[in-house]
A and B are shown apart, each in its own frame.
Chain A
Amino acid sequence: MSEMTKTDVVIIGAGPVGLFAVFELGLYDLKCHLIDILDRPGGQCAELYPEKPIYDIPAWPEISGQGLTDKLMEQIKPFAPQFHFNRMVTRLERQPDGQFHVETDEGEIFETKVVVIAAGGGSFQPKRPPVPGIEAFEGKSVFYSVRRMEEFRDEDLLIVGGGDSALDWALNLQPIARSLTVVHRRAEFRAAPDSVKKMFELVESGSVRFELGQISGLKGEDGQLSSATIKAAEGETEIPVTRLLPFFGLTMKLGPIADWGLNLHENLVPVNVETFETSEPGIFAIGDINWYPGKLKLILSGFHEAALMTQAAKRIVSPGERVVFQYTTSSTSLQKKLGVHS
């Protein structure tokens, strides 16, 4: 049995809105655990546009996606939020006592009084290449990430893509694979120049085969690949393949949220605009994932929603306690929590 973590609030999604929710909840003494499928905080800001400027954050005429993430991390530091990265929340269940069990794909269970869904456009999941019938091989001989290198020992491995994931795994798996072919649609690579150089040294020495083109077909039985067809400008070639690793980046999918019994509106979660509570009491939704009349998918809307959600969340976690609204500028109790009271 896996260990159970008890907390006041589980926030699903560590994007800008999930991060700022830690601040608002923290002012009311609510402790937060954040779960995110990415390997770092920032959500879309970190994954899609870390270097790109954002111009509509109040008081920041210009800030990058990474810059905003860094500032939010600094702002919430006094509240010591606990992060759980590289995990997807798979189950959310209400318990007889009214609390929730939140379960991840790593098997952890969180017992929490409040759940805040701040999942933006959904969870980032690997893109599936346009090859007919690829689904039948997924999880058996087609993988979108490497969890155990042994899975690839003595296999005829095909890696598709031109970024760091593709080349890093090509270099790491080449020594244990029986054969390794790298396929990319063009001669330029996005990966670190050093990795590209190393790979072409292996191509020179005959240890790696490089094909310019795209995969167009797969053959095999019962989920086990036997060959792949590579389409290039000069025609198609079929090569023996027993393992395929495609690296085509990430796309956003709603994922398991659709299975939690919440009302949905075109893949978004409708909320009460006074509390940002969903159709299920105790489950809130803030940021790009929610919907209400007039909703705008702006980071600043999510910040506002986090503040209002906190008022309702506090009443659930501390029933009967008076919720006192205070300003950080003048309240010594808030300043103590922030560690700035002298």
Chain B
Amino acid sequence: MAKITFVTFDGVRFDTDAENGSTVMENAIRNAVPGIDAECGGACACATCHVYIDDAWKDVTGEPEAMEEDMLDFAYDVRPSSRLSCQIRVSDELDGLVVHVPERQA
């Protein structure tokens, strides 16, 4: 289990309890976090679950793999902290993770 906090574009915080092995995206959807669309349902095929990883957590979540980088080309307002939340697996290490939801997904 890990506590994951989503912060929306207008600053609203959503604290969620995420199960190990689930994806960060799935927890956003389960908790109805606004601003995460996840059109393709987690296939790394649409870039509509784009988030910014909080600076303090970038080393823990690591870098996107090649396929995710390719999809990030299609995301809106990509920054160095950008990730697709369907490609981040929850583990004990991520307990306390904070991610920021962009202004829009497309």
Contact = CB atoms under 8 A, between A and B. Distances in A.
A182 to B, nearest CB: 13
Contacts of A163: 73
A109 B45 CA distance: 34
B73 A127 contact: no
A21 to B, nearest CB: 23
A127 B46 CA distance: 11
B40 A48 contact: yes
Contacts of A52: 43, 45
Interface string A249-283: 10110000000000000000000000000000000
B32 interface: no
Interface residues of A, number: 21
B76 A188 contact: no
Contacts of A43: none
Contacts of B70: 190
Contacts of B74: 127, 248-249
Nearest to A161: B73
Interface string B69-102: 1100110111000000000000000000000000
A77 interface: no
B106 interface: yes
Interface string A157-187: 0000111000000000000000000001110
A186 B48 CA distance: 20
Given A130-B77, A188-B69, A214-B78, A251 B106 contact: yes
Nearest to A53: B43
Contacts of B17: none
Interface in B37-51: 39-40, 43, 45-48
A200 interface: no
A249 B74 CA distance: 6
Given A186-B69, A188-B69, A251-B106, A127 B76 contact: yes
A78 interface: no
A49 interface: yes
A121 B45 CA distance: 15
Given A185-B73, A248-B73, A249-B73, A48 B46 contact: yes
Contacts of A127: 74, 76, 106
A184 B40 CA distance: 24
Contacts of A184: 73
Contact of A190 (B46, B73, B77, B78): B73
Given A52-B45, A248-B73, A249-B73, A185 B40 contact: no
Contact of A252 (B39, B47, B76): B39
Interface of B: 39-40, 43, 45-48, 66, 69-70, 73-74, 76-78, 106
5 contacts: A44-B40, A48-B40, A127-B106, A130-B76, A249-B74
Q: Nearest 4 pairs between A and B by C-beta? A: A249-B74, A251-B106, A130-B77, A48-B45
Given A48-B46, A188-B69, 14 more contacts: A48-B39, A48-B40, A127-B74, A130-B77, A162-B73, A184-B73, A185-B78, A188-B66, A214-B78, A248-B73, A249-B47, A249-B74, A251-B106, A252-B39
